Homo-oligomer: A and B are copies of this chain.
Amino acid sequence: MLTGDLRTRSARSTSMMRSQPTTVSEKELDPKTKARMALESVGFDLQESQQYIEYARGLSGKLGRFKGGFRWLYLCAAGFGAGAVAVAICSVLKLVNEAKVGAQEQLFQAGYGLGVRYLAWVGSSLVLAAVAGFLVCYVEPLAAGSGIPEIKCILNGIDLPNVLRMRTLVAKALGIVCSVAAGLPCGREGPMIHSGAIVAAQFTGASAGPLPTPYRITPEARDMVAAGAAAGVAAAFGAPIGGVLFAVEEGASHMNPTILVRTFVCSAVAALMVRFFAGPRGEATAWGTLGADVPVEFGRFAVQSYTIFELPVFALLGIFSGFAGALFNFLNLKLSLWRMRWVGPRGHWRFLEVLIVTAVIISFNFFAPLIKGGSTAMGDFDVSQTLFVASGDEAIKQLFHGQERIDPWMLLFFALIHYLQTVWTYGLGVPSGLFVPSLLGGAAFGRLVGQAAQGVTLLGARPGVYALVGAAAMLSGMARITISLVVILMETTGDAEFGVPIFIVVMAAKWVGDVFNEGIYDLHIHLRHVPLLEHRPEKHLLALRAGDCMAAPVVCAPQISRVQDLMDMVASCRHHAFPVVQSSSGHFVGMVERNTLMHVLLLGGKCGAFSDCAEANGKGKVAVSYSNMIRHGFPQCPPLASVREAVAAVPEDQEIDLAPYANKGSFTVEEDAAANRCYVLFRTLGLRHVPVLGPDHTVRGIITRKDLLAAAEHGEHGEHGASAGAPSPASEARKDSPGECGADGSQGAGLPEPLGGRVAEV
């Protein structure tokens, strides 16, 4: 082979790869684009390089069976863990609550006045809130809120950093005990869901023993997290099926019967765990008893019938709750925007806000029952008074099952106050779920309606049933959850009879709410500019072509490349994946991911992947095996410095054939394909990037989820796909800056999304 020939080719290939990054300074970008660029997505697609196929075939014989067995083991362990966290939270919470109420009792009996009792009550609440606030404001900001938006993002394919860390779990679990015990309108359920997901995620990272990889690949990891979240729901409500449906409805854009069953195993274990401890903890039943003797969270209904004439009343209640939920979301959104602007996600101001809000709410709730008159001792309160000072699930039980008529004015007063307090609290710097507060608010409204309807002909009106239905409606109006909510309430009241009425109100509330705004979780996701792919593809995406929303030009790697050129390419940009193109024709060959490329560069020298004429020597041979990469930490990127070092030791002008490492089956779209089709591909199959091919089979651009969303939003604001020729907002906004490969060790290599560089040829 002539050296001249080689030189020519490598000169060309160099020019092919080397990009002239046109850096756009960070200031020029709008905050949304900036926020989005800071986030990475995760690819759930099948890896299909020759390298991986060889590995998988080797594996299927020996370890295939074990792999399946270990998966069930992990699932059970994750369920067990999620259950254990829930049991721990509930048990501690029970103790703290008993202590708080007991202290009041003792102070009253010791003859102390209202002032002292008030100070003791608010003081203990402030201490608890301070602990919760400290954990959020100074330890882990991600422990704030319910955690459901974060889990939703992760299941959607966005790699939010730190959400699944142990530290977050500790802060969240400890924090939620404190914020609930402080008396704030917070639910422990959302944080339990988040906790379950974190527990499950630990197993995907920890499988480094006998079965090094199976659970590290992203689709497996995602399924584990989904199962963990379901287990969290199951543990929170003792509702295994509700948990699975919650994971389906809120989380997984991608679901099939196999994953469904796996998720169910995990959540059944969690539910079993919780139910096992719930009986004895309530001191009602002997150890080992399960079934109906175990107290369920919201209590069982003794009478479980209703008439068909009540269904329209329920529907009206649903419509009302839809309005109320939409208003809630609107108010909370405004408040959250104010908070983002003036308070920030952590630090002193946020901590101070926690203390102030706690002091105001707890003080108000301490004195509010007293406007009714009567004894000032908590022990002597009637139901309408207890609502203000009892814990959320106790209050819900009262509203569901209380037989006597509750003073309607006090009930209305409570319902309104509680609604406003919940608006104020959600988004505060403490862990706080939304399930129980919104159920409680809804139950209060529902009970009001039920008491008003009592005695009306044809209506069997039992106020408790109305409270149940109202609770479901309010939660659906805020969070727009439907089927899973129905099932959760069925399981958590231990009865399947109210399925249809609950479903009717839930749908009514959702439809009405959807007219005004999105669900609260989605609103909070959008506040952070997370590029979430919702279910419904935008209609105008049908009229937009893939070519309109792709980022171009793309940094491509020629199939036969000089090692040094590849090193330069990797170092000069932060793209996550590179199309491999035929050196001569520019035809698309496949996609190679950054982490694979880095490992190949790191290990290629030792494994003999490089040669001075790759076309002749060992073309198409897998020199760096997948298992070898795994031993070196794949799928994490090796540090750029060590790759550089390894490449420096390679003699100059060595070449490598990238074909065996490229995902040759990678999904591609035509330039003329509708953006809608890309959307479906991304969402259904969990892709991270799709190369766009021209009619001559060359790479014209690349699409990521951010491009798609930007195009969708651009289209929404009046400019339609007709402007096909003009540069798309995506390709304009997304010039990337060169940078080091962040070796932060997080999943997916910790790098921003790949994007348009500049390519001289191709």
Contact = CB atoms under 8 A, between A and B. Distances in A.
Interface of A: 46, 48, 53, 56-57, 60, 64, 240-241, 244, 248-249, 253, 255-258, 260-261, 264-265, 268, 271-272, 275-276, 288-294, 303-309, 458, 460, 482-483, 486-487, 490-491, 494-500, 503-504, 507, 535-536, 539, 542-543, 546, 582, 585, 587-590, 664-670, 672-674, 676-677, 680, 684-685, 693, 695-697
Contacts of A256: 253, 535
A198 to B, nearest CB: 24
B670 A668 contact: yes
Contacts of A496: 490-491, 494-496
Given A264-B482, A271-B500, A695-B697, 6 more contacts: A46-B676, A46-B677, A241-B486, A288-B309, A664-B673, A668-B670
A589 B546 CA distance: 14
Contacts of A539: 56, 60, 64
A487 B241 contact: yes
A500 B306 contact: no
Contacts of A498: 291
Given A458-B288, A483-B261, A241 B307 contact: no
A292 B497 contact: yes
A272 B500 contact: yes
Contact of A497 (B56, B291, B667): B291
A52 to B, nearest CB: 9
Copies of this chain, count = 2
10 contacts: A240-B499, A241-B487, A244-B483, A255-B255, A261-B483, A261-B507, A271-B499, A494-B497, A587-B697, A697-B697
A542 B55 CA distance: 11
A532 to B, nearest CB: 14
Contacts of A486: 241
A71 to B, nearest CB: 13
A486 to B, nearest CB: 7
Contacts of A260: 248-249, 483
Contact of A536 (B258, B535, B680): B258
B249 A257 contact: yes
A275 B536 CA distance: 33
A538 to B, nearest CB: 11
B589 A695 contact: yes
A693 B677 CA distance: 18
Given A291-B306, A307-B288, A684-B684, A56 B542 contact: yes
B696 A685 contact: no
B495 A494 contact: yes
Contacts of A680: 46, 685
A240 B696 CA distance: 52
Nearest to A504: B268
A279 to B, nearest CB: 9
A669 B665 contact: yes
Contacts of A48: 542, 673-674, 676-677
Nearest to A292: B304
A5 B587 CA distance: 30
Nearest 3 Cβ contacts at the A-B interface:
A665-B673, A291-B305, A292-B304
A265 B499 CA distance: 12
B543 A57 contact: yes
A305 B288 contact: no
Contact of A674 (B46, B293, B303, B542): B46
A264 B538 CA distance: 23
Nearest to A493: B496
Contacts of A673: 48, 664-666
A172 B697 CA distance: 53
A389 B291 CA distance: 33
Nearest to A458: B288
Contacts of A495: 292, 494-496
A645 to B, nearest CB: 34
Contacts of A674: 46, 48, 53, 665
Nearest to A582: B695
A215 B398 CA distance: 48
A238 to B, nearest CB: 9
Contact of A693 (B56, B240, B697): B697
